[in-house]
Structure 1
Amino acid sequence: MEDDYKKWLAQFRKGYIELCTLIALKENGSMHGVVLMRFFSDMELTINEGTLYPLLNRMEQNGWLESSWNMPKSSGHPKREYKISSKGEKILPKLIETYDAYNKTLLNLKGRKDDN
């Protein structure tokens, strides 16, 4: 049973984190991956690098994000900065609408009394 739960959770989290990422970048502008992880942590959504970076790459391949390399003015190494793309901007309202509809259904199901 634990393996089944872990598989389900992994799939659920992927879509949920994609949605949260699009919202975060739309509301806050472009961010580096590390900054995005800290932002999510502040929102009590823990994401590790092994989850976030493949997800960001996949979202960029899908055209939902764009990235560019930010060269530091002083010392340090270049960092990739992510922002929501126009395609991401267009799909975000539909994703939010779908999430809200599913969440409403879940809340309705949980609130139902057993009629038997």
Structure 2
Amino acid sequence: MAKVDLQNWKTQIRKGYLELCILTLIEKSQRAYGFEILDRLNNWELLVKEGTLYPLLNRMTTDGILKSTWETEAAKGHPRKFYALTARGKETLTQMTEEFEKMTKIQKEIGKNNQEKSGEKNDEPSIA
């Protein structure tokens, strides 16, 4: 039996999850700039690179999910591009969160049902 490529699976899962995390982070802080987002994601061990984050932020801005503004903070002196959720972005975040919670619940229910049936003959195929 072929071994599952765990790294490939993790990469696929992270793609959608990363977008959800970015939108959640921006929504909770009301706005955030790129390096701040990158730093927070990396602190949570998502290990995101600039080459991944900035194209994603640009795509979400182009898609109308985020809006961006350049601002110069007086204390720092250099301009930063801040991102905030648009109305469409807030709706997208709500939908993504609901779908993620639904998928997580389904996976937990499958595990729970399999544990309850552990003593019985199970006609369902096993996942190796």
- What is the TM-score normalised by the length of structure 1? 0.83
Kindly tell me the number of residue pairs found equivalent between the two proteins.
Answer: 116
- In structure 1, the residue matched to 2:19 is 18
Point out the structure with the larger helix share. Answer: 1
Equivalent residue, structure 1, for 2:89 = 88
Match of 2:124 in 1: none
List structure 1 segments (4+ residues) > 6 angstroms apart after TM superposition: none
Report the structure number with the largest CA radius of gyration: 2
Offset of residue 82 of structure 1: 0.9
Unaligned 5+ segments in structure 2 are 122-128
- Percent of matched pairs sharing the same residue: 32
Letter in 2 for 1:23: T
Q: CA deviation at 1:75?
A: 7.0
Instruction: Give the gaps of 5 or more residues in structure 1.
Output: none
Shift of 1:93: 1.3
Q: Report the TM-score, using the length of structure 2 for normalisation.
A: 0.76
- Root mean square deviation, CA, Å: 2.3
Bigger RCO of structures 1 and 2 (CA < 8 A, at least 6 apart): 1
Provide the C-alpha distance between the structure 2 equivalents of 1:62 and 1:6, rounded to a whole number of angstroms: 29
Contact 1:69 1:78 (8 Å CA) reproduced: yes
Q: CA deviation at 1:28?
A: 0.6
Question: In 2, are the aligned partners of 1:14 and 1:55 still within 8 Å (CA)?
Answer: no
